[in-house]
Copies of this chain bind each other. A is one copy, B any other.
Amino acid sequence: MKDLLIKDVLLNNSRTDIYIDDTGRIAEIGHLKGDAATVIEGRGDIAVPGLVNTHTHAAMSLMRGYADDMPLQEWLTTKIWPLEAHLTGEDVYHGTRLACLEMIRSGTIAFNDMYFFMEEAARAIDGMGMKAVLAYGFINLSDPDKQEEEIKKTEEFCQAVKAMNNPRIAAAVGPHAVYTVSQEGLQWLAGYAREENIGIHVHLSETEKEVADCRSQTGRRPPELLDLCGCLTPRTVAAHCCWLDRSECALLGARGVHVSHNPVSNMKLAVNRAMPYHWLKEGGVNVSLGTDGCASNNNLDLFEEMKFAALLQKFFWNSQTLLTAPEVLGMATTAGARALSLGAGEIAVGAPADIVLIDRAAPCNTPLHNRESNLVYACHGDAVKTVVCNGKVLMLERTVPGEEKILAEAARAAEDLVRRAEDAGDL
């Protein structure tokens, strides 16, 4: 690894240079005279910390647009599950590469993923240069055999990640949700995460039905149940959280849980309630942002997600001032980094060089009355020009090396997947 100098960027409100040493850390910020192995001319482009997507199922990019506008249960049982039944490790590799490409092109440098064949996801991310926390999606329902199998897969995957010894890639446990994992399963996962000192990635209170079913089956609402099983910790990322009540927001705050807000998915799947941001804020909860998988979004652009987040809060909770542009930009950057234990998520001396440069001359930044407003309300991910992750340039002037091959291979994998499922009579 060699050093890198980024010249003349707009950082907060002033023009500056950023020097990144050969360990991938930011060594100096200011008007610098020196040189470096690589020099990027910023020409006044806007520098922000790399964006962090805290809830994805990356390989579902292969199912982008395969089925939409359907009742949830029918969509799952006649389209998504039949496709997933034919999914191979190779598919997950290509789907994850496509997802990484899309995330890099829209300024995301790290993500929190939950899916299957996660060794193949790890291999894809290793090659793409991003950071990720990866969890095998644990689903045992109440089947003891299935539970043994899921425990084995979780352990194997976590050990495989350890063996990779890639500082950009970490494992987490992935209890899918209270309606797909038994209490015994939840307890085992919490214990294993504690032993291994790794994170927990879980879906929480996404729909009203999830809350009602959990109450009728266990006598408790989902957060209380997760807490009882030891799953609410400072290393837990809970996705969705649409149907939390005020005391549950306080509980998450007390336990140090991080929330991943997924407004696009919540609106598309008509969950009928927006995450109560004001109560989470009141409870001191770290709220970050996620896109969810491509099948329920259908892209991975965190700039779009920022706008949806800011607008959905205002609309649903009936306040023109709720969730401001600076706050939502913080959700997509610093809050995401904290949620995934990636540091402060700031452009500062000593921090890992996770830096995104945004085109200052794009129409969405014209005029430039307010940088944060433009980034949240006017720009999309295509305004991102250059992406640096851990000091390595992943995209330069909108070019990601190997892009055409990644797209072609993913397109082929997606077509083959559908064909296999059709040939088997499953679609």
Using known A-B contacts A69-B325, A70-B321, A268-B311, determine if residue A373 contacts B298 with beta carbons closer than 8 Å: yes
| B71 and A321 contact, CB distance less than 8 A | yes
* Bound form: Cα–Cα A307–B320 in Å: 21
Question: Which of A272, A298, A361 has the largest number of chain B CB atoms within 10 A?
Answer: A298
| A270 and B363 contact, CB distance less than 8 A | no
* Bound form: Cα–Cα A75–B324 in Å: 14
A179 part of interface (Cβ distance < 8 Å): no
| B377 and A68 contact, CB distance less than 8 A | yes
A346 part of interface (Cβ distance < 8 Å): no
Residues of A256-287 whose CB lies within 8 A of B = 264, 266-272
| B378 and A299 contact, CB distance less than 8 A | yes
Q: Give the segment of A1-9, A47-55, A58-66, A197-205 that binds chain B.
A: A58-66
Which residues of B are found within 8 Å of A366, using beta-carbon distances?
A: 64, 98, 407, 410-411, 414
A139 part of interface (Cβ distance < 8 Å): no
| A373 and B65 contact, CB distance less than 8 A | yes
A421 part of interface (Cβ distance < 8 Å): no
| B367 and A411 contact, CB distance less than 8 A | yes
| B414 and A270 contact, CB distance less than 8 A | no
Using known A-B contacts A299-B364, A304-B304, A363-B105, determine if residue A65 contacts B378 with beta carbons closer than 8 Å: yes
Which residues of B are found within 8 Å of A319, using beta-carbon distances?
A: 270
* Bound form: Cα–Cα A68–B328 in Å: 13
| A380 and B382 contact, CB distance less than 8 A | yes
Least CB distance, A382 to chain B, in whole angstroms: 4
* Bound form: Cα–Cα A381–B380 in Å: 9
* Bound form: Cα–Cα A35–B22 in Å: 56
Interface size on A, residues (CB 8 A): 66
Question: Which of A272, A310, A320, A367 has the largest number of chain B CB atoms within 10 A?
Answer: A367
| A374 and B72 contact, CB distance less than 8 A | no
* Bound form: Cα–Cα A378–B293 in Å: 12
Using known A-B contacts A315-B266, A382-B380, determine if residue A369 contacts B299 with beta carbons closer than 8 Å: no
Least CB distance, A311 to chain B, in whole angstroms: 4
| B272 and A377 contact, CB distance less than 8 A | no
A150 part of interface (Cβ distance < 8 Å): no
| B363 and A314 contact, CB distance less than 8 A | no
| A369 and B304 contact, CB distance less than 8 A | no
A36 part of interface (Cβ distance < 8 Å): no
Instruction: Select one of B71, B101, B298, B410 contacting A320, CB under 8 A.
Output: B71
Which residues of B are found within 8 Å of A68, using beta-carbon distances?
A: 324-325, 370, 373, 377
Which residues of B are found within 8 Å of A269, using beta-carbon distances?
A: 314, 320
A415 part of interface (Cβ distance < 8 Å): yes
* Bound form: Cα–Cα A307–B299 in Å: 11
Least CB distance, A239 to chain B, in whole angstroms: 17
| B98 and A410 contact, CB distance less than 8 A | no
Least CB distance, A100 to chain B, in whole angstroms: 10
A212 part of interface (Cβ distance < 8 Å): no
Closest to A410 in B: B366
* Bound form: Cα–Cα A301–B368 in Å: 18
* Bound form: Cα–Cα A100–B381 in Å: 21
* Bound form: Cα–Cα A379–B299 in Å: 8
Which residues of B are found within 8 Å of A271, using beta-carbon distances?
A: 315
Instruction: Select one of B267, B307, B312, B381 contacting A314, CB under 8 A.
Output: B267
A108 part of interface (Cβ distance < 8 Å): no
Task: Other than A266-B315, A270-B320, give 19 A-B pairs with Cβ distance below 8 A.
Answer: A64-B367, A64-B369, A65-B373, A65-B378, A69-B310, A70-B321, A264-B307, A267-B314, A268-B310, A272-B318, A301-B380, A304-B304, A308-B308, A361-B404, A366-B414, A367-B411, A369-B414, A380-B382, A382-B382
- 20 A-B residue contacts at CB 8 Å? A64-B374, A64-B378, A65-B368, A68-B370, A75-B320, A98-B363, A268-B320, A270-B314, A272-B315, A297-B377, A298-B377, A299-B364, A361-B407, A366-B411, A367-B414, A367-B415, A369-B414, A380-B380, A380-B382, A382-B382
